[in-house]
Chain A
Amino acid sequence: MKKYFTIFALGMMALSTAAFAGTTAVNTNTVSPTLQISATIQKAVQLTLSTGTAAVSHCAVTPTGGTPDYTMDFGTVDALGINAGNCNKFNPANPGVDNAIYWSDYNLTPVFTSQTAISGTTITAKVSTDFAAPNNIFIVRDSANSSTVPANAAAFTALSTGTPDTIVGPGVTSGTAQTRFIGVAVKPDNGPTVLNGAQSATVTFTLTVQ
């Protein structure tokens, strides 16, 4: 009896398949290790600017890769609308009294993901760094906040330097480009402190998904 038990035990040992970890096995032809993959999903938002395509001429929106994120150059401007500027202009209806407006279209493309509430999404803009005093040049936007090309100087409004102006929304769709218009108004001011030469200001756009 003992002899048969020994033979049985040896036989079972020989036939057995041994797996020593999920990565190795002997006396078999297959092994199946596992890989656990984990990730944490976060919400994401993106707002990019690009050169417009709606108006007759377009001042280029140029990404810098640094700070500021983009630049737009209206070229040489004056309060009488004599200079052509780099894109479009509305000459003053009453030279010496009204402002000249040099303007361009541009595109805003909002993208956002993993947001559960989106219906109240907006894009706002404000002048975060204004031209220097006496501000005989200032930033303007299309008053309608639409993609309709402005017809005249009256279609523009000064962009806020305080509370941001909502220029898109609420109800922004992710991934859809929005055309808007921006420019500089040049006042027919005179005096010892008026600005001449190259001047710059910075506009900050804010996408809020809500």
Chain B
Amino acid sequence: MRVREHEDLRRTHLPVVKSGGKVCGASFGASLPSLIIFVFVLVALAKPAAAQNGTFTLSSAPGGIAFTVGGGGNTYSGQFGTMNALGIGTPAAGVTVIPLSNGALYFTTYRLTVTGLPNPHQAGITAFVNSNFTHPLALFMESCPSTSTCNSSGSFAAMSTIAGAPTTVVPAPGINDQTVIAGLGIFVPDNNGASAFTGLDTARITLTATDLTNRKVFATVEIRLDTPQGETVQNAVSLTLATAGGGLAVTPGSDFSMNFGNVNGLGFGPGAGLTTVAATGGVIYSTPYVLQPAFADFTSTAATIRTFASTNFAHPAILQLRDAAAGPGPYTNIGNTAGTATQITNAAASRSSITRFLGLFVANTNGATAFTGSDAATLTFTLTVP
């Protein structure tokens, strides 16, 4: 895994000898002893010149992706595996995902080692994408320099795709006889509409090691993110519920729960977050709540959200679930089957919250069919992206 490239002995800088304030060159036209001395000196001087060419190697960092070394030791192949813009699921081995507000950052860390430069020479390392993803709006290569911790999105920035203006990976003053860790990331943005992409893609990166003392490039290596397959972008959907300001608490669980507390057919004493709305035959306890749809890599930019009571109350004549776009209503009964599901919207935008009102109708029934006590129902919300 050691690489030694760009070793150009012709460019070895021979030290000059200063004497009496002059620079004295050697004489090649003298006697045989002089020639022997000259050759001896040349050999003696050649040895440290070779030591000026350092070596630059890559290797996997603990917890990072594995590389397969090839190409005579200067290509490192691996992959980030399956990804999605919502950061859903467990990423491939060695890859960490950070869901962001506009996509997801998948990243790994890797080790860079430089040895063999003459003291006090130090090496800087740069990188650029020499073969970018064929879907550059769906996948962005990012880099984290060795001077950062590379464990948050703020440590990563877009990697250059221009050879003449590469991204710094190991900045000045550089390293020598040292191993550092840097980060390699792929940003998968929210990408709905015409540019949506799902499928396989690959990229290649060139890393260049430069002696910062003499500005001499002494090694390059290539990372190929194509082994065994490359990067697979999948579409993803997410729908979460949350508490609205001034509304009843929506508690995450399996999947969410909401407790209206004590209710009665007259609407007395609504709990915190609840208001009552008059209704024929009883009263509606109403609360706002928030729907948070998110989806990525679909050609459609609008989704449909429907809901129905997949498990109805045990006393459906007493308790009913109703839906409204506004607090005062009007409230409509929520269907009890998937086929009669209530459509909340057919224009849900990704990462755009929707405030909706859920009403619990309580009948003011008296007599034999009256009921007091606890009851529960389950609403199933379905987000569908066409």
Chain B proximity of A70: nearest CB distance (Å): 18
Give the residues in chain A near B363, CB-CB below 8 Å: 113
Provide the residues of chain A in CB contact with B386, threshold 8 Å. Answer: 29
Q: Which of A26, A39, A118 contacts B263 (CB 8 A)?
A: A39
Q: Does A64 sit within 8 A of B, measured CB to CB?
A: no
A32 and B380: CB pair below 8 A?
A: yes
Q: Which among A32, A35, A116 is the interface contact of B366 at CB below 8 angstroms?
A: A116
Interface size on B, residues (CB 8 A): 68
**Which residue of the partner chain, among B234, B255, B364, B370, contacts A26 with CB atoms under 8 Å?**
B234
CB distance from A143 to the nearest CB of B (A): 30
Selected contact of B236 from candidates A24, A37, A111, CB within 8 Å:
A24
Say yes or no: is B367 at the interface (Cβ < 8 Å to chain A): yes
Stretch from A15-23, A78-86, A145-153, A197-205 that touches the partner: A15-23
CA gap between A22 and B374 in the complex, in Å: 25
Give the chain A neighbours of B383 by CB distance below 8 A: 30-32
Measured between beta carbons, the chain A residues less than 8 angstroms from B232 are: 14
Contact A40 B373 (CB under 8 A): yes
Chain A, interface residues (CB within 8 Å), range = 35 or more
A40 to B260, CA, bound (A): 8
Min C-beta distance of A55 to chain B, whole Å = 29
Most chain B CB within 10 A, of A23, A28, A111, is at A23
A34 touches B88 (CB 8 A): no
* Interface contact B377-A37, CB-CB below 8 Å: yes
A190→B372 CA distance, assembly (Å)? 57
B235 within 8 A of A: yes
Knowing A32-B381, A34-B254, A46-B268 are in contact, say whether A174-B364 is a contact too (CB < 8 A). Answer: yes
Does B265 touch A at the CB level, under 8 Å? Answer: yes
Q: Does B258 contact A (CB under 8 A)?
A: yes
Which one of B20-28, B39-47, B143-151, B238-246 is at the A interface?
B238-246
**Interchain CA distance A33-B382 in the complex, whole Å:** 7
Tell me whether A26 and B254 are in contact in the complex, defined as CB-CB below 8 angstroms, given that A44-B266, A115-B370 are known contacts. Answer: no
| Interfacial chain B residues near A116, Cβ < 8 Å | 366-368, 370
A41 in contact with B362 (CB, 8 Å) = yes
Pick the contact of A44: B90, B265, B319, B380 (CB < 8 A). Answer: B265
Which of B82, B285, B370 has its CB near the most chain A CB atoms (within 10 A)?
B370
Residues of A within 8 A of B282 (CB): 113
Which one, A30, A38, A41, contacts B371 given CB within 8 A?
A: A41
Asked if B261 lies at the interface with its beta carbon under 8 angstroms from chain A, I say yes
A34 CB to nearest chain B CB (Å)? 5
Interchain CA distance A209-B386 in the complex, whole Å: 55
**Do A40 and B261 contact each other (CB < 8 Å), given the known contacts A32-B382, A33-B255, A34-B379?**
yes
Flag whether B264 is at the interface (Cβ < 8 A).
yes
Name the one of A18, A37, A44, A209 contacting B268, with C-beta atoms under 8 angstroms: A44
Q: A18-B89, A25-B237 are in contact. Are A114 and B264 (CB under 8 A)?
A: yes
A3 nearest CB across to chain B (Å): 13
A29 near B380 with CB under 8 A, answer no
Smallest CB gap from B253: residue in A: A36
Instruction: For the complex, give the distance between the alpha carbons of A20 and B87 in Å.
Output: 11
From 130 to 161 in chain A, residues with beta carbon under 8 angstroms from any chain B beta carbon are none
Chain B: minimal CB distance from A39 (Å): 4
Find A24's partner among B82, B198, B238, B358 (CB 8 Å cutoff). B238
Q: How far is the CB of B231 from chain A (nearest CB, A)?
A: 13
- Which of B235, B237, B360, B368 contacts A37 (CB under 8 A)? B360
Q: Does B365 belong to the interface (CB within 8 Å)?
A: yes
Asked whether any CB of chain A lies closer than 8 Å to the CB of B207, the reply is no
Q: Is the CB of A37 within 8 A of B381?
A: no
| A174 interface neighbour in B241, B260, B366, Cβ under 8 Å | B366
A27 within 8 A of B: yes
Query: With A24-B237, A29-B237, A39-B259 given, is the CB distance from A114 to B370 under 8 Å?
Result: yes
Q: List 8 A-B contacts (CB under 8 A).
A: A32-B382, A33-B380, A36-B376, A38-B375, A39-B262, A111-B364, A113-B266, A114-B265
Q: Which 3 A-B pairs have the closest CB atoms?
A: A113-B265, A44-B264, A39-B260
Binding site for B on A (CB under 8 A): 10, 14, 18, 20-44, 46, 111-116, 118, 174, 209
Known: A37-B259, A38-B375; 14 extra A-B contacts, CB below 8 A, are A20-B88, A26-B236, A26-B237, A27-B236, A31-B238, A34-B380, A35-B378, A36-B376, A37-B258, A38-B374, A39-B260, A113-B265, A115-B366, A116-B368
